[in-house]
Amino acid sequence: MGQPKSLNEKRLTKKQVQQIIATEGRLHEEYTACFKEIYPSGYTVQHLVYELPNDRFLFVFDPKESSIGGKGDIFTKDYIIRSIKWQQRVKDDYANNRGSSVDHWRFYSKHKNDLINQVDTLIEELAKILNIDKKKLDKSYKSLDIVSECTEQYGIDKAIIDIYDNLVAYIGEVLRLQVKGGWKINADFAGGSYPYIDVGLKRIQYMPINVVWDSLHGLEIVDFRKASGNEARQVGAKASFERGEYGQKT
């Protein structure tokens, strides 16, 4: 559970948590059960969730934990539900060997490596499924705001199943134009074959798969623009180093 999303400015102390529980808290057994973690060693962590008035929920860290146990944060109902869905996705992914971005994409992908031959068709499908005017899909960073908002409304779970390849194709095109690269299938690095954006440098891969996975796999609201920018900057720095541009003055 992320502290920046809490309604309280500072994490609640044990005393504050107990006061809230005593005056307005009611244990939510269903949500609490979702935050039970059993490690391979058999050790169990059980965080607690209390329902509060006005669609607020108090998340309490497992009281037996040494440093943070018994402390807590207050979240909106929407964020608690989002957290529960996220936890379930993470558990399911790791249980089914979908722990990496490429493994995750490969499991849900309908086109696999043939994606690079279906880019235009996949983008047309994306516009239709998300009900976006195709003219607005101009492959700019700004257009990713529209795709992000529509994907969020469509639903993350549905997006993963229905439009994973479509999103990889569109974001790949945005990155391709930005870095003046081309689509290519990986054959040189670990992880098997997968599509990426190539710029003619052996060790450099711009990964639209990573962008989609990061955006759909996390707790945050979908933000393809931010994730694409991060990918471009991080990989771009490596590309500059490979070209011998690192440290040069412009």
C-alpha to C-alpha distances, 229 to 83, 150, 226, nearest whole angstrom: 25, 19, 5
CA angle 204, 143, 214 (to 5 degrees): 50
74 and 8 Cβ atoms separated by less than 8 Å: yes
59 and 80 Cβ atoms separated by less than 8 Å: yes
Residue ranges of domains in the chain: 3-91, 98-242
Residues in the chain, pLDDT under 70: 1-4, 245-250
Residue 246 has what pLDDT?
52
Looking at CATH, the fold of the domain delimited by 98-242 is given as Four Helix Bundle (Hemerythrin (Met), subunit A) (1.20.120)
Residue 95 has what pLDDT?
84
Taking the C-alpha atoms of residue 68 and residue 28, their distance in angstroms, rounded to an integer, is 21
Tokens for 25?
């808290």
178 and 232 Cβ atoms separated by less than 8 Å: yes
Residue 245 has what pLDDT?
60
pLDDT 10s digits, 44-55 = 999 999 999 999
Chain-centroid distance of CA 106 in Å reads: 16
Which helix (DSSP H) or strand (DSSP E) does residue 183 occupy?
strand 182-185
3-state secondary structure string, 17-72? HHHHHHHHCEECHHHHHHCEEECCCCCEEECEEEEECCCEEEEECCCCCCCCCCCE
* pTM (2 d.p.): 0.83
